[in-house]
Amino acid sequence: MGTFHAIGIDKDSDGALVTAAKLGDSQAFDELVFRHQQKILAMAQRITNNREDAEDVVQESFHKAFLHLNNFQEKSRFSTWLTRIAMNEAFILLRRRRRVFEVLPGSPDDEAKSSSEAFVDQSPNPEESCWRRERTELLTKAINRLGPKIRSTILLRDIEERSVEETAQILGTSITAVKARVFQGRRKLRGTLNPRLLQEVYAAGPG
Question: How many C-beta atoms lie closer than 10 Å to residue 131's C-beta?
Answer: 15
Q: Assign residue 24 a region (left: φ > 0; alpha: ψ between -120 and 50; beta: otherwise).
A: left
Q: How confident is the model at residue 63 (pLDDT cuts 50, 70, 90)?
A: very high
Q: Which of 45-49, 167-171, 174-178, 190-194 has the highest mean pLDDT?
A: 174-178
How far is residue 3's CA from residue 14's CA, in Å, rounded to a whole number? 14
Q: Are 65 and 85 in contact (CB under 8 A)?
A: yes
pLDDT at 76: 67
Q: Which of 164, 159, 154 is nearest to 185 (CA)?
A: 154
The per-residue pLDDT for range 71-119, each reduced to its tens digit, is 888 876 798 788 888 988 888 887 776 654 444 555 445 443 333 333 3
Kindly report which listed range (41-45, 49-53, 156-160, 172-176) carries the lowest average pLDDT score: 156-160
How far is residue 139's CA from residue 199's CA, in Å, rounded to a whole number? 11
For the chain, the straight-line distance linking the first and the last C-alpha, in angstroms and rounded, comes to: 33
pLDDT at 9: 45
The pTM of this model reads 0.59
Does residue 32 register a pLDDT over 90?
Answer: yes
pLDDT at 30: 93
The per-residue pLDDT for range 3-31, each reduced to its tens digit, is 444 344 444 588 899 999 999 998 999 99
What φ, ψ does residue 171 adopt, rounded to 5°? -85, -10
Between residues 162 and 63, the one the model is more confident about: 63
Q: What are all long-range contacts of 200-207, with beta carbons under 8 Å and residues at least 24 apart? A: 200/135, 201/135, 201/136, 201/139, 202/158, 204/132, 204/135, 205/119, 205/161, 206/119, 206/136, 206/139, 206/158, 206/159, 206/161, 207/121, 207/123, 207/129, 207/131, 207/132, 207/133, 207/135, 207/136
110-137 mean pLDDT: 50
